[in-house]
Homo-oligomer: A and B are copies of this chain.
Amino acid sequence: MKALQQRILADGHNLGHGILKVDSFINHQVDPMLMHDCAQELARRFQADRPTKVLTAEISGIAPALLTALELKVPVVYARKHKPITMPDTVFLTTAPSHTKGNYVDLMVSPEYLGASERVVIIDDFLASGQTILGLIRLAQAAGAHVIGVGTLIEKSFEGGRELLEAAGMKVESLARITSLADDRIIFAD
């Protein structure tokens, strides 16, 4: 998606070590108009698969997932990393390695909001190693739901997440595919 690529080139910062700073428009400050355009495009790519629910992980997945769910007119569920007091005693929980944090995070979904009849699209801001998204797939599968595919705003193709997800049978859609962040540059796949 050209508008997102142009915005990444204009306002993104390559911090080195594979880290792309996009917190002026995606994950600290959010440009809601750009996010809305991205969500319309993600919804368009999954509409025909008749999703009944969008699933994401807090925190930075919430914005793109919410707007995609609004377009698709289905509820969105965000997996929690810490258990709120309103969550039931027994939940679906999985653990995923966090590449950026260098540790493991819990991902929890209440069985109240993810059931065997659901057709789930997973939406997140980044696809990098794919570990968080694989965790979300495990949660959906634990609930007996059918996972249609995965949509993300930005893919770091050099981290291998797409290959993992496609090997798991997923349809994978990313709006901006970055093939390299070497030498202070930002190179897109197309």
A→B interface (CB under 8 Å): 15, 19, 21-25, 27-33, 35-36, 58-59, 62-63, 66-67, 69-70, 73-78, 80, 84-87, 100, 109-110, 112-113
Measured CB to CB, the nearest residue on chain B to A109 is B28
Main secondary structure of the interface of A (DSSP, over half): mixed
Query: How long is the Cα–Cα vector from A85 to B31 in the complex, in angstroms?
Result: 20
A50 CB to nearest B CB, Å? 17
Instruction: Please name all residues of chain B whose beta carbon is closer than 8 Å to the beta carbon of A110 when the two chains form the complex.
Output: 23, 28-29
Interface contact B75-A23, CB-CB below 8 Å? no
Interface contact A66-B33, CB-CB below 8 Å? no
A60 CB to nearest B CB, Å? 9
Instruction: Please name all residues of chain B whose beta carbon is closer than 8 Å to the beta carbon of A78 when the two chains form the complex.
Output: 28, 30, 59
| CB-CB under 8 A for A84 and B32, given A58-B59, A63-B66 | no
A161 CB to nearest B CB, Å? 18
The 10 closest A-B pairs by CB, nearest first: A32-B70, A29-B113, A21-B86, A32-B69, A29-B77, A62-B62, A58-B59, A30-B76, A23-B86, A29-B75
